[in-house]
Structure 1
Amino acid sequence: MRITLKQLTIFEAVARSGQVARAAEMVNLSAPATSMALAELEKQLDARLFERVGNRLSLNSQGSLLLPLATEALQKFDQIEHLFSSPEAEYSGTLNVSASSTIGNFMLAKSAVAFCQQYTQAQVDLDIDNTQAVIKSVLEFRSEIGFIEGQCLDSRIKVEAWHKDRLLVFCHPAHPLAGQHVTPQALRGQPWVMREEGSGTRDYFINAANALDMQPVEKFVFRTPDAIKQAVKQGAGLAVLSELTLEKEVSRKELAIIEVEGLFLERQFYRIHHKSRKSTPLCDRFVGFCTTLLNVEPV
């Protein structure tokens, strides 16, 4: 049985008007076409829906049973059409986003809130983890878009430069090297508080440090910038994090910066998505919104 919306529309028009000719005018069809569609509906249901009383058609018990169901179905269809034809439709629904730690905590969290305040029918589900976890989420189609601090070499992923960031070496304010400009050799043998394996911050720093033969000694490993900053405040060693995460503590003199000769830690942030997945209008609008809100420099 294949009842169509056209048949239900004609049935409801006949039920409301009581005449095939008037119903035909209401649905913009010829009277024969309207009569044929109604007859086909009755055939498919194997039931008469109307009784003729004079020159009018009146619903019988079967037709009275169908009318509220038909009306409800047509209203639902109208709601679907309205939802997807309205200007807000493209920016409705849930957008799944993954971001590595620095980007997620210090850039996209506030962006997601501001975006949903402006686009009230949208929901941004932001998952914050390390770079490798973000890449995996995009590969497995759990996230439509990802933002990472490290490299992605998977051929299934499209990688686009998105923003730039600077890493800073820092320490406890009472550390002998606090506020100093030193050579890489001055840091050899110093204990470090590091991010975990898979972190873009960790990978970028270690590559740069190895190029200068700094030989950093890993003393502690933590997954979050807050845990690393707390460890450094307790004198656990040196650390390196994005300047985005250090602004408050440095201004309060709770942490101090060490400038290392030749260690220029400006890194690229990247936006990634699966090559086989077409970006939705909601995703495109979110990216544009973040670019404006965060004053992301064009690449």
Structure 2
Amino acid sequence: MDITIRQAELFLALVRTERVQSVAKEFFLTQSAVSTAIRRFEESVGVPLFDRAHKKITANSNGKTLAEELAPLVTQFQNVTSMFQKDYISGRLEIGASQTLADYLLPQVLYGFQVRHPKAQLSIWSGNSREVVHAVELGEVPVGFIEGEVPSRMLESTLMGSEELVVVSSDKEFAGAKSYTMDELLHYRWILRESGSGTREAFIHQLLEKAQKLNIFMELDHIESIKHVLRNPGTLSCLSQHSIIHELARGALYPVQVEDSFTRNLYQVIHPRQSSTLLMEAVSADISEAIVTASRSLTAL
């Protein structure tokens, strides 16, 4: 008996959802039709692919192995059959993104994308750059967007753009007094992101040997927390332009003029075995354009 692409799609959907009802709803079929297709698929493969106990259907070791090998082939076939329908983009995609991108740039980009492509369903999994890289390595997310250099030899990376990192203070008089050397600022109370953050790693790396003298007074996991602590006198931080544009505009934070400049690159990372879908390519193109546009706009301020 021949295996059809639809049977393969139903099999992969059942592995993912573990519910015949969900698969039937997703493919606009009856539950009986889904069950029959899955049974015929198992007969064609020649081994049981699911454990059916207590009304729950879960892929057994055979099913998991087959799903892992079959998924990229089905994706490739779907890409080929839709290559003449590039204006019709649909499907689900979860992307990994480091915190600055996930909080300050990507939400509006993904919102605009879904307005133009209502059949697409996008979501963001966020962490620091190191965590996003790890998630992509493990296959927990198919693609990631990070700040700073890529701490992985396993992944393929694509440079998406770059941005300036800004030393900031809540003290307007101090910030505007003069242009400082970093040596003059090292003893202040620096409030930085946690280890693994792309912002922190880029800043520390560019300080070179001065980093050993930097007074890291506090480490926080969230940028908003850092901005709140910066209200205290004698505190400084180095943050992405994207994350402080509103605070600079309303006078809550001020850029400290420093003789040294700090920048970082922004990358897309993907596992070499990960299939690139039309949806993924379209989303990546929008993100790349947004990064370049935002960098130009901020440079002009």
- Asked whether the two chains share a fold, i.e. TM above 0.5, the reply is yes
SS at match of 1:123: strand
Asked if 2 retains the 8 angstrom alpha-carbon contact of 1:99 and 1:146, the reply is yes
Counterpart residue number, 1:276:
273
State the partner residue of 1:220. Answer: 218
CA separation of 1:179 and 1:281: change in aligned 2, threshold 3 A: farther
| Change beyond 3 A, Cα 1:228–1:175 | farther
Find the counterpart in structure 2 of residue 287 from structure 1.
284
- Amino acid of the residue matched to residue 198 of structure 2? G
How far residue 211 of structure 1 moved from its aligned partner, in angstroms, is 3.9
Quick check: which has more Rg, 1 or 2?
Answer: 1
Deviation at 1:289? 2.2
The offset of 1:210, in angstroms, is: 3.3
Q: Which is worse superposed, 125-134 or 182-191?
A: 182-191
Aligned position for 2:240? 242
Partners of 1:207 and 1:257 in 2: how far apart? Answer: 20
What SS class does the counterpart of residue 229 from structure 1 fall into? helix
1:267 matches 2:268: no
What is the Cα deviation at residue 107 of structure 1? 1.4
Decide which of 149, 165, 168 is 1:167's aligned counterpart: 165
Secondary structure, in 3 states, of the residue corresponding to 1:233? coil
Task: Indicate the residue corresponding to 2:96 in structure 1.
Answer: 98
Letter in 2 for 1:157: L
Asked whether the 8 Å contact 1:185–1:213 carries over to 2, the reply is no
Aligned position for 2:228: 230
CA RMSD of aligned residues (A): 3.0
Pairing partner for 1:185 from 183, 186, 201: 183
Percent identity reads 23
Aligned CA distance change for structure 1 residues 142 and 179 (closer, same or farther; 3 Å)? farther
Gaps of 5+ in 1: 6-68, 75-80
Aligned residues of 1:96 and 1:142 also touching (Cα < 8 A): no
**Using the alignment, how far apart are the partners of 1:255 and 1:138 within structure 2?**
35
Q: How many angstroms apart in 2 are the aligned matches of 1:128 and 1:89?
A: 29
SS of residue paired to 2:257? strand
Aligned to 1:18: none
Q: Deviations over 1:137-165 (max 9, x none)?
A: 11111211111112224222001111111
Match of 2:14 in 1: none
Bigger Cα displacement from structure 2, 149-158 vs 87-96: 87-96
CA distance in 1, matches of 2:170, 2:288: 34
Q: Which moved more, 1:101-110 or 1:213-222?
A: 213-222
Cα–Cα, structure 1 residues 151 and 291, in superposed 2: closer, same or farther, change >3 Å? closer
The one-letter code matched in structure 1 to 2:90 is S
Pair 1:206–1:110, CA change in 2 (3 A)? same
**What whole-Å deviation, never above 9, does each CA across 1:267-294 have from its counterpart, x for those lacking one?**
1111110011121111001111223345
Partner Cα separation in structure 2 for residue 99 and residue 180 of structure 1:
36
Aligned residues: 223
The corresponding residue for 1:133 is 131
Write out aligned runs for 1:23-172 (5 A).
87=85, 91-172=89-170
My pick for the range that moved more, 242-251 or 229-238, is 229-238
For 1:94, the aligned partner's letter is R
Give unmatched runs, 5+ long, in structure 2. Answer: 5-31, 38-77, 296-301
Give the one of 183, 203, 206 matched to 1:205: 203
Between the aligned partners of 2:248 and 2:255, the Cα distance in structure 1 is: 8
Q: Which amino acid aligns with 1:209?
A: L
Residue aligned with 2:233, SS: coil
